[in-house]
Amino acid sequence: MWNNFKNGFIKENPVFGLYLGMCSTLALSTSLNNAIGMGLCVTLVLICSNVLISLIRKITPDEVRIPVYIVIIATLVSIVEMFVHAFMPELYTSLGVFLSLIVVNCIILGRAEAFASKNGPLASAVDGLGMGLGYTFALTMISLVREFLANMSITFYNPFNAEQILFSFGIEALEPFKISLFSSSVGAFLTFACFAALFAVIRKHMNKKQEAK
């Protein structure tokens, strides 16, 4: 079970390894707040959907499996969306349409089909947590690079109260060297490509090590 959890980060990272959920990764990696907010929303939905689907896996008729999954996921996403709208209005505006697009995020349906429909609720919950955090991790990495290069500073505010800044880091001397390109879509694609290549190298290295053992 621990291995399942660990796999979600590097070897089977849902974003860099499996290329799942790329749309939201590219779009929401502009700032650290968006990245962490979105990552946690996805993790929450993923854990809940995995547990629910795992619980009903024995009573779901095989023919209508996919419709059942979609109904469950859509319901969960609606709940999360309303929750974020009510308590974190700032985050809700900056995530925008991508919050409701969690429904069609490949990670969730993919895990439901590949893991939760065959394993018990506890294992599915752990798998959901691992995959969700792997997604959050990927999103955070990209957003750190992009936010720093675009502003030469990184800020993180309290999602429940946008005026309260929790964490801020910046190098003033670098201020004139901002690359605003990285906040646009071009930067998103390029940063993502470099990270994907980096992870490919790491994975290859890890596989070699394993073979050597």
Partner 1 sequence: MIKAIIYFIILAVIYGVLYYFNHKTPKPEGCENLRSSCEGCNITSCMAHPNNDRLFKEENKNA
Partner 2 sequence: MGEILTMALAAVLINNVVLSKFLGVCPFLGVSKNSKSAVGMGLAVIFVIFGASLITYFLYYQVLVKMHIEYMQLITFILVIAAFVQFVEMFIKKYSASLYKNLGIYLPLITTNCVVLYVAQDNITQGYNLIETMTNAIAVPLGFMLVLYLFSCIRERLDSADTPESFKGNPIALVVAGLMALAFSGLTGIV
- Interaction site with partner 2 (CB under 8 A): 19-20, 22-24, 26-27, 67, 70-71, 74-75, 77-78, 81-82, 97, 100-101, 103-106, 109, 184-190, 192-194, 196-198, 200-201, 204
Residue 77 binding partner per list partner 2, partner 1, none, with a CB distance cut-off of 5 to 8 Å that depends on partner kind: partner 2
The minimum distance between CB 70 and partner 2, in angstroms, equals: 6
Helix residue ranges, H only, the chain: 2-7, 22-28, 32-55, 65-87, 89-95, 97-100, 106-111, 121-151, 185-212
Q: Does 174 bind partner 1 (CB under 8 A)?
A: no
Residue 113 binding partner per list partner 2, partner 1, none, with a CB distance cut-off of 5 to 8 Å that depends on partner kind: partner 1
Q: Does 208 bind partner 1 (CB under 8 A)?
A: no
Rg (Cα) of the chain, in Å, rounded? 18
| Side-chain-facing half-sphere of 183: CA atoms under 13 Å | 13
Angstrom distance (rounded) from CA 120 to CA 138: 27
Residue 123 binding partner per list partner 2, partner 1, none, with a CB distance cut-off of 5 to 8 Å that depends on partner kind: partner 1
CA angle 120, 126, 131 (to 5 degrees): 120
| Side-chain-facing half-sphere of 64: CA atoms under 13 Å | 8
Q: Does 171 bind partner 1 (CB under 8 A)?
A: no
Sign of torsion over alpha carbons 93, 95, 98, 103? negative
The minimum distance between CB 167 and partner 2, in angstroms, equals: 26
- The residues that touch partner 1, with contacts defined as CB under 8 A, are 4, 18-20, 22, 63-64, 66-71, 106, 109-110, 113-115, 118-119, 123
